Amino acid sequence: MKKKKVNLRDLKPDSETKHGHDDGHNHSNPEKLGDFRTYLPAFFSFVMMIIGIAVDFFDAFPYFKGWVRIVWYTVAYLPVGFPVIKEGWNSILKGDFFTEFLLMSIATIGAFAIGEYPEGVAVMLFYAVGELFQNAAVNRAKSNIKALLDVSPNKALVYRNNDYVSVNPETVEIGEKVQVRVGEKIPLDGVLLSEKGSFNTAALTGESKPDTISKDEKVFAGSINLDGVIEIETTKEFKDSSIARILDMVQNATARKSKTELFIRKFARIYTPIVVFLAIGLTFLPYLFVEEYVFSDWLYRALIFLVISCPCALVISIPLGYFGGLGAASKNGILFKGASFLDEMTKVTTVVMDKTGTVTKGVFKIKVIKAIGWDEPEFMKYLMAMEEQSTHPIAKAIMEYKADGEDFQATDVNEVAGKGLKGTVNGKTVLVGNKALMTSNNIEVPSETDNIVESIVMVSIENKFAGYIIIADELKEDAHEAIKKIRESGISKIIMLSGDKDSITQQVAKEMGVDWAKGGLLPEDKLLEVEKLMAETDNKVAFIGDGINDAPVLAASDVGIAMGGLGSDVAIETADVIIQTDQPSKIARAIKIGRSTRRIVWQNIGLAFGVKAVVLVLGAGGLATMWEAVFADVGVALLAILNAVRLQKMKWD
């Protein structure tokens, strides 16, 4: 899936359309809505309108009639009305005739034409206030996503010509040494050259707790250095760094609309001109059927009809609902690559997961040490002396063991192809390897080892079996919790597919409580199994993986979910949803956020259509005034917005 690259330096928080939906309108959206100047036009119009209504009601000034009254209400109208009329005119020049701006302009100017000056001002005033609230709500919904833009580093201290110089991160090359001081952001992905460091990775993972990294381990751009001056060696260019990748995903996510959003937008473009022509008909057609036809009465009804029918509540609150869902997910370390995937997540019935790196840590650890006739520390020193020079992952896991005292040294170490190592430690002959190495040297192996499915390393010293260790991949801390929460979310089937040995896969699946598992699979085998599941009627499959070998299945599944911290770039690029924290328990949270978003969107649709339908009928029958029309338009829009904003307040645990 190719995605358009964006220049991160050109990104702005409001680079999307001003209302968070691409309707082609240039809505007013000031950067600082807390600035009083933003509300000054509406405040001025409100004060002028209230004074005018009070004077009308109490008849306090005999001169407040005729042109004086018209001018007063016109002055009250212009601060809020002129921007809307201007937007409507600009839309017409672009060939877009039927917009909410045109509806509001016709309705309010028409009200002035029939002498309903206070109502004309009131309609436009409340519409303008509604716009301000909508903008504030959009900004609130965007806040979690826009915060990511603030973590993009803007400088890097690079070691060049025997000194550290400050440069733009985009100019730093792979392999250069970068210094990061306390409180500064890591500018590019790399490996830690210092002995250790403590980092705040909240921008990448959504988790605020510090993460301690040791020498030669990976560090990611956007992380904040919490403890001491450190040095890193860059492994990626800035455009390929973790933070750049996240920003790119977020930027693309806001541009991808859900099917509901796209339908509502198309519906509004058909619905609006129909309403305009119905309003014209409501004005003139009664002349043919009503005996005492009064033009101003029917025009007033038509103007009410126009105000009520304005589709603002739909075209604003629905995209806002999806934007709120994307923001809530981002805050929780979950990146959806578009609103459409929020919808797709709600339809998932089967979750298929990879094992290594997805529900396990993908790192070998010593699980069991069984020394026979030796003290454990001494036994491990013999083993570590043999494995010291090996680069095999199992050897690295063995070398993490901490034994007191002086280390042993091995000599004359030779590799026995496919079996293990043979050498001398402290003058004693030592064999380290599998059962085949032991039996080929006539060393008796205990029968208890026959039922061990994990990787096992056997040791003999002076031609006598000395013990064994079991090496296994650890389950992630939240692996069991993940299965429990996925089931609680209503998923009917959980399956594990792995390239690891089937015996190990079955053991992990049994420990976790997975419904069905299969191991020893090549990438094409995984793809075949998932395609079989997807072929079942009404079965929506989400696949969770992290490696390059998972990319084909991530692309083919209904929803592809990648582990974003340890996962490969290919898997992350291919997936539809990214779990930045590498926590499988976040999958259930992603499902919950998707369902809550969809529920709120449909609540807003029902609210908008229901209230508008009732008031439209009342307005056409002459039973509703312009005040009811204002509620049906602006009031319903505000209620829908407040409903959508709830996504930002919800607890997902």
Token pair of 35, please? 């600035």
> Are 470 and 366 spatial neighbours (Cβ–Cβ below 8 Å)?
yes
Residue-wise over 517-553: b if at least 16 C-beta within 10 A, else e? Answer: bbbebebeebbebbeebbeeeebbbbbbbbbebbbbb
C-alpha distance from residue 207 to each of 199, 230, 331 (Å): 11, 22, 9
Q: Which of 266, 394, 303, 342 is nearest to 594 (CA)?
A: 342
**Sheet (strand 410-416) strand order:** 360-371, 464-475, 455-461, 428-433, 420-425, 410-416
3-state SS track over 551-594 = HHHHHHCCEEEEECCCCCHHHHHHCCEEECCCCCCHHHHHHHHH
Q: Transcribe 11-38 into DSSP letters.
A: --TT-S-TTSS-SS------S-TTSHHH
Q: Which residue blocks in 358-477 are alpha helix, DSSP H?
A: 376-387, 393-399, 435-440
Calpha distance 118→105 (Å, rounded): 15
> Are 38 and 30 spatial neighbours (Cβ–Cβ below 8 Å)?
yes
Residue-wise over 265-298: b if at least 16 C-beta within 10 A, else e? Answer: beebeeebeebbebbeebbeebeeeeeeeeeeeb
Q: Which residue has the tokens 């995605």?
A: 3
Calpha distance 652→325 (Å, rounded): 12
Residue type, position 530, single letter: V
> Are 52 and 76 spatial neighbours (Cβ–Cβ below 8 Å)?
yes
> Are 363 and 474 spatial neighbours (Cβ–Cβ below 8 Å)?
yes
Q: Which residues are catalytic?
A: 354
**Sheet (strand 230-234) strand order:** 163-167, 156-160, 177-180, 230-234, 190-192, 218-219
Token pair of 315, please? 């075209």
Neighbours of 166 (CB within 10 A): 9
| DSSP state for residue 538 in the 8-state scheme | T
Q: Which of 583, 567, 566, 586 is nearest to 575 (CA)?
A: 567
Q: Which residue blocks in 621-635 are alpha helix, DSSP H?
A: 626-630
